[in-house]
Structure 1
């Protein structure tokens, strides 16, 4: 895994360590990170994203306590062998639920109809 795979949004109300843990959870669930795959070092992630190394260390520690990551002596952190990405599509969709609820709330606050919001979301999902 490359440090650039993580997308950090400093202006987000969600703490950076939680952003990292959530992204790791999704990358593992989708199979983009496979068991045994090494993660970049705390120093590499912190340097690449210009964030405090303690923030990255906290995120890695939380992911390790959840069983997502494991510490390999002399090598660093890796995706846990015991954690297989056998989640169903429904389980993976469940990981998006908080963001979808926030999107729905914001769209309602802005009095935007569902149609244009869904069209914009489709464009974003297609990469356009």
Structure 2
């Protein structure tokens, strides 16, 4: 389910954070679903448990997961106001990246096609 590139320049914990976010956003992992324990995921991925713990802390800080002492970590539910703040923040990031892409010569059509492709992928996943 989670594949990490150990040769990548991107730190392992960041790759793990990105993969878990992707699984949550795509609906593979549902709200309130229990995540694997730090120990079991570390064994499965053959990486240091501290790396898993760091990724889980970051996901919790960003509001994607929550932990219950003695129970484990679970996928969080996005509340309306939290969702609005996240959308605002991501929109600012999107504007910055889009401006940079346009400056570097990416065409408007290419960016629109990318958005449409992502929307189609998301629609197909919702139907599954």
Tell whether the structures are fold-level matches, with TM greater than 0.5.
Answer: yes
1:52 paired residue number: 48
Are residues 1:12 and 2:5 paired? no
1:40-73: CA deviation from partner (whole Å, max 9, x where unpaired): 0111111111111100000000000000000023
2:66 paired residue number: 70
Structure number with higher helix proportion: 2
SS at match of 2:54: helix
Alignment of 1:106-121 (within 5 A): none
Q: Tell me the number of residue pairs that the alignment of Structure 1 and Structure 2 aligns.
A: 88
CA distance in structure 2 between the aligned counterparts of 1:83 and 1:27, rounded to whole angstroms? 18
**Deviation above 6 Å: which 4+ runs of structure 1?**
none
CA distance in structure 1 between the aligned counterparts of 2:79 and 2:16, rounded to whole angstroms? 18
**Ranges in structure 2 where 5+ consecutive residues have no aligned partner:** 84-89, 102-120, 122-128
**Ranges in structure 1 where 5+ consecutive residues have no aligned partner:** 102-124
TM-score norm. by structure 2 comes to 0.60
Highest relative contact order (Cα 8 Å, sep 6+), 1 or 2?
1
1:26 paired residue number: 22
From 32, 38, 43, the equivalent of 1:36 is: 32
Residues 12, 55 of structure 1: alpha-carbon distance in 2 compared, 3 angstrom cutoff: same
Q: RMSD across aligned C-alpha pairs, in angstroms? A: 2.6
Residues 47, 8 of structure 1: alpha-carbon distance in 2 compared, 3 angstrom cutoff: same
